[in-house]
């Protein structure tokens, strides 16, 4: 199992690389960045776990060495937010970086699973897809926008609100839509954990709104607390690793692994049609990409667990309607970035 991290020297890239080096599921870890990767890989190789680490820089053969034969490519390359910035403000900075990385993935590892962390995820995923389409190698089952941090935050925030009566490590709140502000729609009203739903239902409407707002804008808390030095890195590394680990387990044949991710709806993935029908029936804005729980398998995304859409309450439906209209613009921006280029 070869995993490549592109942007490996950054705030997310370094702790993410450490977690991957600690995983018994990873045999080879390649670290690509403009700076520092030879030093980081020398450091990691002193850890007595199995994965062999190699560092690559942006020289002639950097991408080829880092990406060839990769099963997974995780991309946290780019610029993070400063206070006052939205994720969309990063588009002009990160769009070009991501399209260049996607060009190289299309060339050196067209069949790898690509996990996009770089923001704005709502647009950068579409950029990767368009570049892959241009090269005739796009496989929607293998492209993942990483939204896991929104699920992780939802678990933590409702647990904190319950004063730890709900144990965060026993929760699995679903979050649908996209990955920025109002496109993030946490679903607290429906969950297999009945204590969670009971607790949520016991909150008054102001408390519920505050909780949902905290999930939608949770990233801003970290950006403000870091006072201009970056955004979430450690919680993001944890979240990216969680998704990567689950994809690897599914590749290895483990069954019934369900994770949420921002994925393309236009492939022949089971459940795509049902999601589109739901959106049409409700009269919401049509989108080509959405974050939903998906079942993972050796081929990547096996199916979309769309049933959640039939179980959300009317408030969550309204939030989803707002989310989809914003999402559609974010996605078009990514698509046009490549098609207009
Ligand atoms: P950082 O600035 O600490 O690290 C970014 C790294 O990317 C740097 O080491 C830089 O040298 C590298 N880089 C820049 N251009 C590159 C290129 N062309 N090729 C290879 N590497 C390149 O930033 P941080 O905090 O690690 O964040 C990275 C990205 O992740 C940002 O876009 C941020 O907004 C996003 N992010 C996404 C989250 C999510 O939930 N999906 C959560 C938090 C951050």
Out of 4, 5, 6, 7, mutate this one to test ligand 1's pocket (max ligand atoms within 8 Å of CB): namely 7
DSSP label of 270:
B
CB 90 less than 6 A from any atom of ligand 1: yes
CB 80 less than 6 A from any atom of ligand 1: yes
Q: Two tokens at 195?
A: 């204590």
Residues that constitute the known binding site: 7-13, 33, 81, 87, 94, 117-119, 153, 236
Residues that constitute the known binding site for NAD(+): 7-13, 33, 94, 117-119, 236
What would the pLDDT profile of 280-300 be if each residue is shown by its tens digit?
999 999 999 999 999 999 999
Distance 79 CA to ligand 1 centre (A): 5
CA 1 to chain centre: 20
Q: Two tokens at 299?
A: 């081929």
CB 66 less than 6 A from any atom of ligand 1: no
What would the pLDDT profile of 119-139 be if each residue is shown by its tens digit?
999 999 999 999 999 999 999
CB 6 less than 6 A from any atom of ligand 1: yes
pLDDT lower than 70: segments of the chain: 341
**Percentage of the residues of the chain whose pLDDT score is greater than 70:** 100
CB 261 less than 6 A from any atom of ligand 1: no
Q: Which atom of ligand 1 is nearest to the CA of 8?
A: 9
Half-sphere exposure of 183 (CA within 13 A, CB side): 27
The average confidence (pLDDT) of the chain is 97
Q: Which atom of ligand 1 is nearest to the CA of 236?
A: 42
Pick the catalytic residue from 135, 179, 190, 213.
Answer: 179
Q: Which atom of ligand 1 is nearest to the CA of 97?
A: 18
CB 33 less than 6 A from any atom of ligand 1: yes
- Long-range contacts at 268-272 (CB < 8 A, ≥ 24 apart): 269/140, 269/141, 269/301, 269/302, 269/303, 269/304, 270/302, 270/303, 270/304, 271/303, 271/304, 271/305, 271/306, 272/304
Has 179 been annotated as catalytic?
A: yes
Given this model, what pLDDT does residue 60 score? Answer: 81
3-state SS, one letter per residue, for 178-234 = CCCHHHEEEECCCCCCHHHHHHHHHCCHHHHHHHHHHHHCHHHHHHHHCCCCCCCCH
Q: CA 157 to CA 229: how far, in whole Å? A: 24
CB 233 less than 6 A from any atom of ligand 1: yes
Given this model, what pLDDT does residue 228 score? Answer: 87
Q: Which atom of ligand 1 is nearest to the CA of 32?
A: 20
Q: CA 122 to CA 178: how far, in whole Å? A: 6
- Tell me which residue has tokens 């450490």: 18
Q: CA 239 to CA 156: how far, in whole Å? A: 13
Q: Which residues 6+ apart lie within 8 Å of 319 measured at CB?
A: 177, 182, 185, 212
Given this model, what pLDDT does residue 341 score? Answer: 58
Nearest to 257 by CA among 302, 208, 194, 197: 302
């Amino acid at each position: 199992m070869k995993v490549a991290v592109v942007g490996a020297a950054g705030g997310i890239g370094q702790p993410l690389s450490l977690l991957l080096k600690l995983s018994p599921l990873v045999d080879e870890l390649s670290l690509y960045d403009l700076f520092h990767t030879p030093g980081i890989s020398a450091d990691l190789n002193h850890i007595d776990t199995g994965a062999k680490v190699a560092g690559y820089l942006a020289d002639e053969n950097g991408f080829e060495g880092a990406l060839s034969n990769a099963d997974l490519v995780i991309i946290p390359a780019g610029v993070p937010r400063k206070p006052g910035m939205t994720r969309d403000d990063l588009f002009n900075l990160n769009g070009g970086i991501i399209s260049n990385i996607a060009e190289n993935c299309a060339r050196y590892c067209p069949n790898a699973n690509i996990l996009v962390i770089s923001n704005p995820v709502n647009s950068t995923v579409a950029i990767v897809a368009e570049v892959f389409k241009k090269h005739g190698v796009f496989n929607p089952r293998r492209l993942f926008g990483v939204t896991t941090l929104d699920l992780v935050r939802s678990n933590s925030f409702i647990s904190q609100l319950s004063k730890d009566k709900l144990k965060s490590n026993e929760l699995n709140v679903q979050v649908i839509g996209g990955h920025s502000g109002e496109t993030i729609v946490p679903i607290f009203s429906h969950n297999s954990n009945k204590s969670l739903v009971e607790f949520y239902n016991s909150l008054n409407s102001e408390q519920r709104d505050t909780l949902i707002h905290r999930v939608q804008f949770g990233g801003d808390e970290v950006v403000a607390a870091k006072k201009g030095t970056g955004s979430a890195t450690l919680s993001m590394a944890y979240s990216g690793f969680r998704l990567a680990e689950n994809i690897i387990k599914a590749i290895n044949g483990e069954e019934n692994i369900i994770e949420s991710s921002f994925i393309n709806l236009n492939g022949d993935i089971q459940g795509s049609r049902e999601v589109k029908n739901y959106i049409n029936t409700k009269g919401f804005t049509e989108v080509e990409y959405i974050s939903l729980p998906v079942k993972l398998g050796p081929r990547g995304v096996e199916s979309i667990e769309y049933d959640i859409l039939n179980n959300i309450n009317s408030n969550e439906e309204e939030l989803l309607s707002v989310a989809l209209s914003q999402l559609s613009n974010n996605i078009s921006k990514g698509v046009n970035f490549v098609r207009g280029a």
